[in-house]
Amino acid sequence: MNYNYKYIREIHKILNRIKISPEVFRKALETGDSRALGKLLLPLENCLRNQAPKKLFRIRSVTENNIEAFENNSIYLSSADRFNDPFDCLLFFDEEGLRKRIRSQLTKENMINFLESVYDFTSGTSCNFEINEELFSGYEVEKELFLDKTQAKFQMITETLKKSTFISAFTSVINSPIMWSHYGDNHKGFALEYSFDNNIFMPSRYNVINVDYLWYGWRSLLPVIYTEKRADATDLAEWLSFCDAISNAYKFDGKLHDLCGTLPDFLLKTKLSLKKAKEWHYEREWRLILTVEWPNEVNDESASFEIEPTAVFLGNAMSTEDRNRIISVAKNKSITIYEMFIDHSSYEYIMNYKEVVV
């Protein structure tokens, strides 16, 4: 049984063919010339222009935080390690394949070449590094010891991905009784409708400025694909293992340097965050994703994005008090108000809705 619509499969097919290398990204960053980057993303842009939904929805329970977000036009994104599904963003690793790849690739020559390609994204200059020859003198032994610890690193790699990925979930369906039961507090909640510009769906570089730091990542709004197998993160594990080994051999200005600028594919984290078990296919989920690329030590549990909703839907079991509160906020925004209801003359298991005149 196929759990994904044809256009969802096409979007993922195109996305998986795109690889944004450090060289392409570095050229766009250094010169301001994004033509090569744009050329890589053009097939996905063309596909999304035709396939991206005109409207997406967020079904919410009535809480003070959700009402405040509604009032402030805020969409909050949670780090993936806080999700209720323990398999969400849970990765698969080909352990034996990874060991073979690391054994052949983790050489002194490859590490030196790797480090020479590191680019300091914060200052725009190449990094100055010192080689620890004493460590390298016994590195073949160190490499084997490192490989013996590979299995123990898998959980750390999954946790790294989850903590550095912020996600906000949308659905393309508003009339699903299951969705209203699960996310709308048994139909006592509300839902917000959003109409996004086409450019929000495309992966793009995104900056977040905090009082203590600045980090960049990739923002995109893309559909989840439902599968029977977990996402294969062997490539991510190989890269992180390589970075870990190099960090033990090199020092940058007296401290370990963040090596995120060498990620083989800058969309890898995004791709790994878009797969869910087939049992969740009824959600028809689209994810607003922010992947944190620098610094990796960001400890935030959430991020936010601002956009005004275009309509609000009231759950059919909503209390009078909650109904009046949501209507009041919607009236201040001059957006359309709908209410969900069950059509007793219909044989379908779907919710219906009608406009509320206030």
pLDDT band at 55 (very low <50, low <70, confident <90, very high): very high
Give residue 257's pLDDT.
Answer: 44
Dist CA 130 CA 256 (whole Å)? 11
- Give residue 209's pLDDT: 61
Q: Residue 17 has what pLDDT?
A: 95
Q: Within the chain, what is the greatest distance between any pair of CA atoms?
A: 80
Q: Which residues contact 343 (CB under 8 A, 6 or more apart)?
A: 352
Beta carbons of 56 and 313 less than 8 angstroms apart: no
Query: For the chain, what is the mean pLDDT?
Result: 81
Contact yes or no for 45/37 (Cβ under 8 A) = no
Judge if pTM exceeds 0.75. yes
The predicted-structure confidence for 105-117, as pLDDT tens digits, reads as follows 666 676 666 666 5
pLDDT tens digit sequence for 3-29? 788 999 999 999 999 998 877 877 777
Q: Length of the chain in residues, anyone?
A: 358
Rounded to an integer, the average pLDDT of 313-319 is 97
Q: How confident is the model at residue 156 (pLDDT cuts 50, 70, 90)?
A: confident
Specify the higher pLDDT residue, 141 or 87. 87
Neighbours of 255 (CB within 10 A): 7
pLDDT score of 18:
94
- Mean pLDDT for 296-315 is 82
Grade residue 123 by pLDDT with cuts at 50, 70 and 90.
very low
Listed residue (265, 267, 261, 248) closest to 118, CA to CA? 261
* pLDDT score at 264: 81
Residue 305 and residue 331 in contact, taking contact as beta carbons nearer than 8 Å: no
For position 280, what pLDDT does the model report? 92
The closest alpha carbon to 92, from 48, 19, 185, 155, belongs to 155
Structure-model confidence comparison of residues 255 and 343, the more confident one: 343
